[in-house]
Amino acid sequence: MTAAVDLVEAMAALVAFLLVLVVAARFARLVRARQRDARIAPLRQELLAMIASEDLAALEGFRRLAPARWRLFEPSVLSLTAKLRGESQRALITLCCELGTLERALSASRSARAARRAVAAEALGTIGTNEAVTRLSMLARDRSAFVRAAAVRALGRSGRSAGVGPLIAALEPGSGVPHRFVAQALLRLGEPSAPGLIAALGHPHSEVRERAAEILGLLGTRSAVPALLQACGSDVARALRLHALRALGRLGAPQAFSVLCEAAEHGEDEDLRRLAVQALGRLGHLGAVPILAAVVATGPDRLAAIAAESLVALKAPGEAALSELATSACGPAQLHAKAALVFAHRGERAGAPAGSELKAFS
């Protein structure tokens, strides 16, 4: 019984302690926020005014800031730097380097705590000097998945072609970085990524080859067309062919026409045919109209629907073929053709009276 009473007392004390903790935590947070705002807000305004007026010489004033105040201001400066380009960005990076931001980020990137390393990677990516990129290349192989992902994103943001090699290495299986992050980073680096990616089409790992094909399509590198056409050969693994077909469609390369027609008509599975059908729509070659119309008329449901959408992308000749199917075909083919036509013209309905005809048509 006494033990139970003691327990009640202990609980009451604990509840009281937690209540004090809640109040103290809120009070401390509000005070901290107010102090930070008071110290940072004027600096932020001053910096934005300088950037807006391109009065970069006025940045000199920030060099005299007390180290503690600069450190408080540093995240705002880095965040702004990441959004800028050109002279203003370079001036802020120089300012950061002079005030020790790079050193601090490099030091934090060796911290035992993953969160500190990840945040440091973001800062290094914004600063983007050779030293920062070298360190980021190492962080892209960090033991923590979060740090690796942050480093890969930062390499993309750095804008340095030196980042291409480590990024392509991060496409390898076992690198532990989601390929979407790597792809985005390579896309951010732009054209300088292309030679490395074209070379990666011959990489020993199939995953790297497939991802490289996909990224080349998104990058819009015309010089990659011959290599991608080669990757569409019948002796190539199916997955690579899928990615290469998709990339060729995105690139809109006329040389790809016959390969895509062949895959759309005689591809060995629906996925392959679907990608070829989509790609033919993007390619804009009018020779594709009869092939796509045939797929709408005879293809399986999902494939027929996509072929109808591709015909819409081929403008008037494609729509004429769809109108023909909508009136003469029967069953799902007719429905797909009608659906594609209604969908294609739905924008007109919003502003033009022509829409009522479409409604009647459906």
Partner 1 sequence: MRSDVGHVLVATDWFVLAYFFAINSGYLALIALAAIEFVRHGRLQGALGYDDTFVNPLAPPVSIILPTYNEQAGIVTSVAAMLALRYPEFEVVVVLDGCTDDSFSVLERAFDLIEMPCVVVEQIPTRVPPTAKFVAAGAAPLVVITKENSGRADAINVGINASRYPLVCMVDADSILDPEALLHVAQPFMDDPERVIATGGVIRAANGCRIRHGRIMEVRMPRPWIARIQVMEYLRAFLLGRTGWSRLGSLLIISGAFGLFRKDLVIEVGGLDPTCIGEDAELVVRLHKAMRQARRPYRVVFVAEPVSWTEVPETARVLARQRRRWARGLAEVLWRHRSMIGNPRYGRIGLLAMPYFVVFEYLAPFIQIAGLAAVAVALALGAINVVFGVVFLLVALGYGLLVSIAALVIEELSFHRYARWRDLAIAVAAATLENFGYRQLTALWQLQGTWAALRRKRAVWGEMTRTGFTLEAPADLAPSGGGRGE
Q: First vs last Cα of the chain: how many Å apart?
A: 80
Copy the structure tokens of residue 244. 């290469």
If one asks whether residue 12 binds partner 1 (CB under 8 A), the answer comes out as: yes
Separation CA 4–CA 304 (nearest Å): 74
Cβ(228)–Cβ(244) under 8 Å?
yes
Window of 88-96, 235-243, 317-325, 328-336 that interacts with partner 1 by CB under 8 A = 328-336
C-alpha dihedral sign at 354, 355, 357, 361: positive
- Residues 32-71 vs partner 1: string with x where CB under 8 A? ----------------------------------------
Separation CA 108–CA 116 (nearest Å): 6
What per-residue string of b and e applies to 269-293 under the rule 16 or more CB within 10 Å gives b? eeebbbbbbbbbbbbebeebbebbb
Separation CA 121–CA 95 (nearest Å): 18
If one asks whether residue 205 binds partner 1 (CB under 8 A), the answer comes out as: no
- Residues 147-166 vs partner 1: string with x where CB under 8 A? --xx--x-------------
Q: In Å, how far are 187, 228, 247, 307 from 220, measured between CA atoms? A: 10, 12, 8, 23
The distance of closest approach from Cβ of residue 351 to partner 1 in the complex, given in angstroms and rounded to an integer, is 9
Task: Count the residues of the shown chain that bind partner 1, applying the rule CB under 8 A.
Answer: 57
Amino acid letter, residue 89? Q
Decide whether 50 or 78 has the Cβ nearer to partner 1.
78
Judged by CB under 8 A, the residue of 4, 38, 112, 316 near partner 1 is: 4
Per CB under 8 A, which of residues 110..139 are in contact with partner 1? 113, 115-116, 118-119, 121-122
Judged by CB under 8 A, the residue of 286, 346, 354, 357 near partner 1 is: 346
Decide whether 184 or 259 has the Cβ nearer to partner 1.
184
Could you give the angle at the alpha carbon of 345 between the alpha carbons of 340 and 349, nearest 5°?
140
Separation CA 254–CA 238 (nearest Å): 22
Copy the structure tokens of residue 38. 């008071």
The distance of closest approach from Cβ of residue 68 to partner 1 in the complex, given in angstroms and rounded to an integer, is 19
Separation CA 126–CA 96 (nearest Å): 10
Window of 23-31, 40-48, 191-199, 276-284 that interacts with partner 1 by CB under 8 A = 23-31
The distance of closest approach from Cβ of residue 264 to partner 1 in the complex, given in angstroms and rounded to an integer, is 20
If one asks whether residue 325 binds partner 1 (CB under 8 A), the answer comes out as: no
Contact positions vs partner 1 (CB under 8 A): 1, 4-5, 7-8, 11-12, 14-15, 18-19, 21-23, 25-26, 29, 75, 113, 115-116, 118-119, 121-122, 145-146, 149-150, 153, 178-181, 183-184, 187, 214, 218, 301-302, 305, 332, 335-336, 338-339, 342-343, 346-347, 349-350, 355, 358-359, 362
